[in-house]
Chains A and B, each alone.
Chain A
C-alpha cells in the first residue's frame, strides 16, 4: 500500500487534468524537485521546522501548478508544449537544488509519513479518504460536473456559464499540489533528495489514469477508477518482480500497457468495429465488379 501512495496521489492529480482534455508532463520533475527541496527544508527533528518545511514544499508544488496554468491560460500556449517546457524548467530546478542524490530528510517526518496503524499505513488511509472525497465531488458535486463539461466540450461549457479559464487554472494548481504530496511521500520513503526520483512517474501517472478508465480526450473518468489503475500498475510491477523478470522489462510493460489501454478505449469509442469490418468486406469483395466507388 505504501508503494501505491505516491502513484495514486500523482495519478489523481493527472486525472483531473486529463479530464479536461489536457495533460501535465511536469509531474515527474515536480516530484523530484519536491524531494530535493525536502532534503533541505525538512531537516532536524523539531516539529515546527518539519511542519514549516512540509508547508513550503506544498506551496512550491502549487507554484509549479500555477506556472503551468499561467503558461497555458494566459500565454495561450498549448498544454503539450507548455508542460514540455515546464518539464524542462522543473528538471533544471531540481538539478540546481540537488545536483546529485543526497541530503537527509528529517527522521521525524519519515516516521510520521510511513506510520502504520496496526498493519495499515497512514498513507493508505489518506489515499482512501481522498478517493472518497474526490468521488463525491466528481459524481455528486458541481466540481465534477464542471470538469466533465469542460472536458467534453469546452465551448459549450463556456456558453453554459462555467468559468472555463478559472477552472482550468485550478486544475493545474491541484495537479501541482498532488505532485508535491506524492513527492513528499517519496522523500519520506527514500529519506533524501534525488533529482531523478520522479522521472518514471510522468508516464506512470498517465498510464494509471488511462488504465483506470479515464478517456484521454477528456470528459470521462472516475477517481476510483484511477486509484484502481494505480493499484493495478503497482501490482503488475510487483508480480513481475516476484517472477524475477528483469526490471528493465518494466519500461516496455508500462508503455505497452498504456498504449493498449488508450488504444482499446479509443477504438471502442470511435468506431463500430463490426460495422466497419463488414463495410470493408463489402468494399473488397466488390473489387471485381465495375461499380466500385472511388474512396
Chain B
C-alpha cells in the first residue's frame, strides 16, 4: 500500500515536472521542421536569452500563485524598473549600482504594499494587484511626462547582451535565480510554509504559521523578481519604454500555468515554470516564423492558458482517482 502511494505520488510529481518539458521539446521540433534555421545553436541560444526575461518574472508569479494568489502588477513593476533605471543611470557609470539598488528597493516597496493590501485590508489579490498595476502605470506616465528619456550605463549592457562561456549572460542569471528559488521553495522552512499557506491558509494559521508575514514576503519576492526581470530586459534593450511591461502581464501567468502550478495554490514548482517560460517564448518565436499576426498571437496565448489549466486539471483528477 505504502509503496503504491509513494509511486503514484512520485509519478504525479514527475508528471508535473515533466509534462511541460515534453511540450517544450515537441514545439521545438515542430518549429525546426517548419524552419530548419531553428535547429542552429545560435537560434536556440537566442531563444534562451529572450526567455530569461519572462522566466525571471514568471518565477515571481509562481510564488504568488503558490500561495493561492496572483500578481497582476508585474507589468507595472517591469515598466517601473525600466523607467527608473534608465532615468537614473543616464548613460553614466557611477550611477550604475545606486540605480539598481533604488529600483530593487522600490519594487520591494510595491510588493510590500501589495501584500499589505491583501492581508491587512483583505482585498482579493486580483483586485489589489490590478489596482497597483494601474497606479504604477500612471506613476510611470507622470514621472516621465509621457516622454521617457535616459539610457543605461555601458557596463550594465553585458547582463542582457553579453555571453559568458558561450551562454547568454541573461540565461545564466535566470537559471541561477531559478535554481536558487527552487532550492528556497523546496529545501527551506520558508518554502514549506509557503506551500502550506497556499494549500490551506486556515490550517496553516492553526498550525502556527505566520500567514500574513508569509503572504507579504511572497508578494515582496514576486515584485523583486519582476524588477530583476525588468532590469535584465532593460540591460538588453538599453532604452526606456513605457509599454515594456505590458507583455508580461499575460505571459507570466501563462508560463506559470503551462509549467504545472495549480491555480488554487499549494502545488507547483519553479522548475516547471522555467519550462513554461521556455515554452511561451518558443510559442512567440513560432508565431513569428509562421507569420501570424499580433492578434492571432493573443488568441493563441489565451487558448494556451485555458487549455493548460484544463489539461493539468484532467491529468490531476485522473491520477487521484487511480
Contact = CB atoms under 8 A, between A and B. Distances in A.
B122 A267 contact: yes
Interface in B248-291: 250, 253, 257, 263-264
Contact of B126 (A23, A85, A90, A263): A23
Contacts, number: 144
B36 interface: no
B253 A92 contact: no
B247 to A, nearest CB: 11
Interface in B101-142: 117, 121-124, 126-128, 130-135, 137-139, 141-142
A89 interface: yes
A94 interface: yes
A97 B117 CA distance: 39
Contacts of B264: 78
Nearest to A79: B126
Contact of A92 (B131, B139, B146, B296): B296
Interface residues of B, number: 43
A78 B257 CA distance: 13
A96 B145 CA distance: 31
A203 interface: yes
A78 B306 CA distance: 10
26 contacts: A23-B127, A80-B70, A81-B305, A88-B299, A92-B295, A92-B298, A96-B296, A96-B299, A97-B295, A99-B294, A195-B295, A216-B127, A252-B139, A256-B135, A258-B127, A258-B134, A259-B123, A259-B128, A259-B132, A262-B121, A262-B123, A263-B117, A263-B121, A263-B122, A266-B123, A270-B122
Interface of B: 70, 117, 121-124, 126-128, 130-135, 137-139, 141-142, 145-146, 250, 253, 257, 263-264, 293-303, 305-306, 309-310, 313
Closest CB pairs A-B (n = 7): A92-B298, A251-B138, A95-B295, A88-B302, A255-B134, A92-B299, A252-B138
Interface of A: 23, 71, 75-78, 80-82, 84-97, 99, 195, 203, 206, 210, 216-217, 246, 248-256, 258-259, 262-263, 266-267, 270-271
